[in-house]
Amino acid sequence: MKPTDDKLSALLDPSQIEVYLLARGWESKRRTTMFSTWAAPPDAPLRAQLFLPLSPKPADYEERLDDFVRDLAEIQGEHRDVLITNLRYAAADLVRVRLVSPRVGPGELPIGDGADLIEGAREMMLAAACASVDTRPNFGPRKPRQAIDYLDGVRLGQTERGSYVVTVISDVAPPEQHALLPDDAAHIDIPFERHVTTKLVTALSAAHDAAHAVLDSDDDYSAFDQAVEAGVSANLCDAIATMGAEHAAANVQVSVEWASSRPPTAQAPPTIAFEAASLPVMKEAVNHLRALGPFEDELVEGIVSHLIRGKQDEIGTIVIEGEARGEKRNVHVELPDEQYDVAVEAHRTKQPVRIRGTLFKQGRSWVLSDPGQLAFEL
């Protein structure tokens, strides 16, 4: 009989289950073409053994698979639905976004809040993908192509119990050489998909800390400036604020379950929670970060105050002490050889220069990327 979608046999691949078990320290004791048996990890609360059916030919295959899931859920202390998702997508990083609010019931919420949650989850993943290409305080309409391509491959899983949970499925290619232990992670190539989920973890943690710094310092948003290098952007903050309804005392929680097919590349906290008090801060941080750029085709005028280039470098950095966007700023600009020679002459003669490019703040410094031609002021 052909399996239906409500049967475990339609959802779970035994080969992926074995990858999941190996990644979590289960020891393979015996394996045949029909089944495999497993001993629990040393740190498991129960020194149990599991029987995993591998062949769908026996009549009791579905029953045996159901017994396996029930036993594993009990041993690991997980809800059945959550475990099934983890087993089904053992080759994917799973990002779970949970909305906790008085407006949310078990597995249901107002349709408007649901639309905001899904849209916010999408924008959150896109923001993390953009930051994986280049960290900036804000990403405008022209997102990096690699980030757009990544988002096209991301999927939404079924909702799970626990207030209201949206599961984002981000497939991760397995390493070329079989490696499942965390110590091996530094020795294998990391695909862009894993870079995105790793950046997501670091960015969410930094955004959480920055929001609490603002709450503790009475509206000083400078903590968000420093969080940009960790992947925080106006886009990420807006996504978090969108997912939470401030008027309903919402709590937005995000967790990441690393793909079993690849070693973890970061120590992810169990859950990163944005409480109701921090959501207005995230909303205001959007405006703060957008004020840091990037601003395209901006004119920078002033004196070349510093020259920075190694003997073997083809690219040099200059600092223009002058004015940009109507304010006095020190702007860092990377220039190729021929342009750098102009800057050296301008620095020697103290002659003012001008240049156009994309202006944004990076850490404590203002930077001009994609610079045009450096020219002397007339």
Provide the mean pLDDT of the chain.
87
pLDDT at 231: 95
For residue 137, name the pLDDT band (cuts at 50, 70, 90): very high
362/180: higher pLDDT: 362
pLDDT in tens, 236-258: 999 999 988 655 567 899 999 99
Amino acid of residue 133: V
pLDDT at 264: 82
377/121: higher pLDDT: 121
pTM for this model (two decimals): 0.78
Residue 203 near residue 230, CB atoms below 8 Å: yes
Domains and CATH numbers, the chain: 8-88 (3.30.920), 92-290 (no CATH), 295-376 (2.40.50.140)
Q: Is the pLDDT of residue 304 over 60?
A: yes
pLDDT at 365: 87
Q: Across residues 112-133, what is the average pLDDT?
A: 92
Distance from the first to the final alpha carbon of the chain: 84
Q: Across residues 257-271, what is the average pLDDT?
A: 84
By mean pLDDT, which of 55-64, 136-145, 245-254, 368-377 is the weakest?
245-254
For residue 106, name the pLDDT band (cuts at 50, 70, 90): low
Q: Across residues 148-169, what is the average pLDDT?
A: 84
pLDDT in tens, 182-208: 444 444 578 999 999 999 999 999 999
pLDDT at 247: 55
